[in-house]
Amino acid sequence: MIYNNVLELIGNTPIVEVKRLETGNSRLFIKLEYQNPGGSIKDRIGLSMIEAAEKSGKIKPGDTLIEATAGNTGLGLALVAAQKGYRLILVIPDKMSHEKVMHLAAMGVDIRMTRSNVEKGHPEYYQDYAERLAKKIPDSHYINQFNNQANPLAHELTTAPEIWEQMEHDVDAIVVGVGSAGTIGGLTRFFKKMAKQPDIVLADPQGSILKNYIETGQTGKAGSWLVEGIGEDFVPEQCDFSLVKKAYTVTDKEAFLVARELLLKEGIFAGSSTGVLVGAALKYAAEQKNPKKIVTFACDTGNKYLSKMYSNEWMSENGFMNEQKEHHYL
């Protein structure tokens, strides 16, 4: 099949069953979202949010789009904006990988780097910064993935039904992380309509407040973490935890080592958030007395983390591995 443009390649990503990780009596399936043209699951919402703004008359070609992003939403927006003729300004926390920044720069994005060690309400907090820019710049539109219904809608209309069909209507649990909450929101909306509702399992990096919020109803104070793209210091407005049956915390070290093991054992080259998701999926699988079919995501490609978690030097410098060890990380 010949496609008319790269945007037609977004979605319909494959699912592969992992065979060499320890899943007990359960089976683990990974949806390879890094096979989207921009290299991540966020291509889906980039297309959905821009097209929704077009349909509502909020933007026209030549306008400026503004967003706050830890990276992949920005890349998804950049992919779509370039094809549709929009200028794009992205406000990015400084913990983002060098590869993502270079990728965005190569796509002509106007990058505004800000601090990652400040909380919501601080003038340099990335979302507040982006919203402030949108009020100052003429003919601009703040995408606001954290409160944009086209974000979960993308997953309700594409990601969730793809999983349902690929798994032949037989899935017991879906392990998901939360950044803007679009994925969990869309999956929950879709599966609430099904007669059989899978457990939604939250995978949360250590330092994020979301696991604690699910278990206690309290947000608490956020810590810091190096995993990119998931975990929050607040509860996003479009978050829907109504199908969440279990939540797991995964440390940076666990996430990085699991992701590296996933590459070595399964040939799946994925990013840091995937390490959190697969780490949580393995914890969930280990607790099951009855066999379960568990689905999770390879959210983005490991190519974006070559200078970080796939660098032995960086891993050693940050205390995540002994450089002298053999390549067996778990």
What span, in angstroms and rounded, lies between the C-alpha atoms of 181 and 187?
A: 10
Per-residue burial over 46-58, b if 16 or more Cβ lie within 10 Å, else e, is bbbbbebbeeeee
Q: Which residues pair with 136 in a beta bridge?
A: none
Instruction: Please tell me the distance from the alpha carbon of residue 262 to that of residue 268, in angstroms, as a whole number.
Output: 6
Element (H, E) at 63: none
Instruction: Give the whole-angstrom CA distance, residue 193 versus residue 187.
Output: 10
CA 114 remoteness from chain centre: 20
What sections of the chain are H helices per DSSP? 42-55, 72-84, 98-106, 126-136, 150-154, 160-166, 182-191, 210-216, 252-266, 272-287, 312-317
DSSP 209: S
Q: φ, ψ for residue 112 (rounded to 5)? A: -115, 105
CB proximity list for 228: less than 8 A, separation 6 or greater:
70, 71, 95, 96, 97, 100, 271, 272, 273, 305
**Residue 283 a catalytic site member:** no
* Active-site position among 19, 31, 42, 58: 42
Which residues are marked as active site? 42
